[in-house]
A and B are shown apart, each in its own frame.
Chain A
Amino acid sequence: MSLREPAQAGRHRRFRLTQEGVVSLIALTLFLAFALFLNNFMSQGNLLTLLKNVAILGTLAVGMGMIVVGRGIDLTMVAVMVVGVAFAIWLSSQGFGFGEAVLIGACLVAFCGLITGILIAIAEVPPIFATLAMASIVYGGGRVAFSSDVLYAPAGIGWLVAIGSGTFLGVPYSILILAGIAALVALFLSLTRFGRFIYATGDNPHAARTMGLPTRPVQISQYVLAALIAYAAGILMTGLVSGINTRLYNSTLIYDVLLVVVLGGISLSGGQGGVRNVLVGTVLVGILINGMTIMNFSYTSQNLIKSVILLAALALDAVINPRDEQTSQSGDI
């Protein structure tokens, strides 16, 4: 009897689909359906385009994923991205070299992340409110400082053009940058002691602190890192379209980022999941958008279909992995 029970439990676990699995299956189904019914969907060019089009979303989501694992949320990412890059472009128009300007912009962005981190870790403002307020402050500051919504990078910056249109062995740099950042964050989370601290803090911040883990420095550095990742996404965008549109702050981008993270299976209650989950969510959104753009669906129906499929993924997961007292955690939203 006592021998059979663990075996049963093991078998049970083997058949159990995680949310990541559900989303992967939906992504795969869509992929196969589009590959069968859409011309040119399977072409190498289109698959690269598909990935290239979610490079910015994916980069932001990797940063957000790292924050959510530590039981936080960072709604400042889009604001920091657009204002940081706009600041760098503005500096370059004031006579700084573009490379120099980008470095100074990075310092500003890191400083914003530091303030957010201090608000959350030391002042103990709940992350959702602290970052919501910081996002407004950062964007508002940007609005006052730069009169125009759209700022163009100076012409003739070789490396910036390369980010936008260059390829390495046929793969666009933008995809490689996403892959690079994702790999770095994944290694950081899983291999470094600091990364494990993030999981511990996310799983149970009080226990982590009682055990003597430096939870406050961990949280602060998380937000600094997330801000820098957002800034990298902004530089990527500037390379892709030769400028930055600060009005993106008003778009639904930040919610799309959060959705990708949650969809992939990173629980908002923290402590679980990783970069792989983020990438699964990103790829699903990428396949959906690409297919619907090819089918020339109207914007409204695209949004509707996207929402229905994403909701279905979350609902399906709720059916397969029902929440009960044991699986749900305190702090679940």
Chain B
Amino acid sequence: MKVLKNTAFAALAASALLAAVPAQADDIEQVGRAAYLEAVTGKKVIFVPLSQGMDLNQAWTAVWQRHAARYGFSFEVRDPNMDTAAGIRALQGAIAEKPDVLIVQNPDVQTYARALKQAQDAGIKILQINMQSITQTDSYVGNDWIEMGRLEAGELARTCLAPGAPSGKIVWLAGVQTGAANIYMREGLNQILAENPGLELVSDQPADYDSEKARQITETVLQQHPDLCGIMGIWDNAEVGAGAAVLAAGKQDQVTIVTNGAGAHTACESIEKGLLDVVYNFNAPIQAEIAAQQISEFLQNPDRPAGSEKTVFFGPITRVDKNNASGRNCWKIDELK
């Protein structure tokens, strides 16, 4: 009797389950997914970078292309390859096509300012990535460059004002002086210099994001200031030149080289080779994910007019030295695709 009852119960449960499964397949709907897909599918996003030859750009586009392919919006890169005139043409072209979102990486604070305003007036939502213009648009996602300057200079202040430091002399190897990142990093550096009178800035020259120029400046400065304590820079791929000059002079234990970068594995290898000491890693893939969130927000709110809200989000910054130059602090582009 008991067996019969159990069997009947099991049969009942099984049939209920069988009946429920197809019904659920019809009903299960992740909340908001359909609306999301509808909002983003077929939309158009155009990216005007500085140059796709840089590691940070490759990381960003790898992430955005993944999002675009998965959710069916189009993503195009109009690469001006460091030519600002070509960049303005690319922007004008993009404005004419009226994409849903325009992503821009500015060469400096002025060059694209007017074009960005035009695009905004034409009703295009604009996301500025990592390099800002004086025209503020819907969103900026990227580094807090003043904080970056403070972090790097602060690192040198700790090292060069510690007892036993060779001197308080430091060098600032800028990139291009009109670039937003440079202007703001210099401000951060100035703040730290004001807070630490013992620090002495002995050289302030731009290396134009070029390792050979960085090497030349460093080598000359090392001759003038053999007791140099630290060098801060703006891009790991340029400061390897400073590192080469320091290595050639045999002063790798004396001079601390601090810079920042997208977090590519090449930076970790430079740390291993002893060319760099500390890299403040702004993790370009994570920046790209944050930007992707911002893009999806734009696409899901088409009724908000362009320029109606202006948001800023500063991405993560991780301090990387030889103790943690591994794993996710050293991405390879193929891992992001």
Q: Does A45 contact B (CB under 8 A)?
A: yes
Closest partner residue, chain B, to A44 (CB atom): B223
Q: Is the CB of A247 within 8 A of B216?
A: no
Contact with B along A271-307 (1 / 0, CB 8 A): 0000000000000000001100110111110100000
Q: Does A246 contact B (CB under 8 A)?
A: yes
Q: Report the Cα distance A298→B217, complex, angstroms.
A: 12
Q: Does B323 contact A (CB under 8 A)?
A: no
Report whether over half of chain B's contact residues are helix, strand or loop; otherwise say mixed.
helix
Q: Is the CB of A242 within 8 A of B275?
A: yes
Contact stretch, chosen from B92-100, B200-208, B309-317: B200-208
Partner of B223 from A49, A149, A240 at Cβ < 8 Å: A49
Q: Is the CB of A165 within 8 A of B248?
A: yes
Residues on B with C-beta less than 8 A from A49 are: 219-220, 223
Residues on B with C-beta less than 8 A from A248 are: 210, 212
Q: Report the Cα distance A43→B225, complex, angstroms.
A: 12
Residues on A with C-beta less than 8 A from B244 are: 164-165, 240-242
Closest partner residue, chain A, to B176 (CB atom): A299
Contact with B along A220-264 (1 / 0, CB 8 A): 000000000000000001001111011110110000000000000
A289 CB → nearest B CB, Å: 8
Whether A46 touches B220, Cβ cut-off 8 Å, given contacts A148-B58, A155-B273, A242-B240, is yes
Q: Does A2 contact B (CB under 8 A)?
A: no
Whether A241 touches B215, Cβ cut-off 8 Å, given contacts A148-B58, A296-B202, is yes
Q: Is the CB of A247 within 8 A of B51?
A: yes
Q: Does A327 contact B (CB under 8 A)?
A: no
Q: Is the CB of A300 within 8 A of B177?
A: yes
Q: Is the CB of B82 within 8 A of A241?
A: no
Whether A240 touches B215, Cβ cut-off 8 Å, given contacts A148-B53, A251-B210, A300-B177, is yes
Q: Does B15 contact A (CB under 8 A)?
A: no
Q: Does B155 contact A (CB under 8 A)?
A: no
Q: Does A56 contact B (CB under 8 A)?
A: yes
Interface positions, chain A 175-208, Cβ under 8 Å from B, are none
Q: Does B191 contact A (CB under 8 A)?
A: no
Q: Is the CB of A152 within 8 A of B210?
A: no
Residues on A with C-beta less than 8 A from B217 are: 293
Partner of A150 from B52, B211, B214 at Cβ < 8 Å: B211
Partner of B53 from A46, A147, A241, A251 at Cβ < 8 Å: A147
Q: Is the CB of A164 within 8 A of B248?
A: yes
Residue of A150, A165, A293, A299 ringed by the most chain B CB atoms within 10 A: A150
A188 CB → nearest B CB, Å: 27
Q: Report the Cα distance A56→B216, complex, angstroms.
A: 11
Closest partner residue, chain A, to B79 (CB atom): A143
Q: Does B247 contact A (CB under 8 A)?
A: yes
Q: Report the Cα distance A302→B207, complex, angstroms.
A: 13
Q: Is the CB of A56 within 8 A of B212?
A: yes
Q: Report B's interface with A, CB cutoff 8 A.
A: 51-55, 58, 81-83, 177, 202-206, 208-212, 214-217, 219-221, 223-224, 237, 240-241, 244, 247-248, 266, 269-270, 273, 275, 333
- Pairs A–B under 8 Å by Cβ, sample size 30: A40-B223, A46-B224, A49-B219, A49-B223, A50-B220, A52-B219, A143-B53, A147-B52, A147-B53, A148-B54, A148-B55, A149-B53, A150-B211, A150-B237, A152-B266, A164-B244, A172-B248, A240-B244, A241-B240, A242-B240, A242-B275, A245-B210, A247-B210, A248-B212, A251-B208, A290-B220, A293-B205, A293-B220, A294-B224, A299-B177
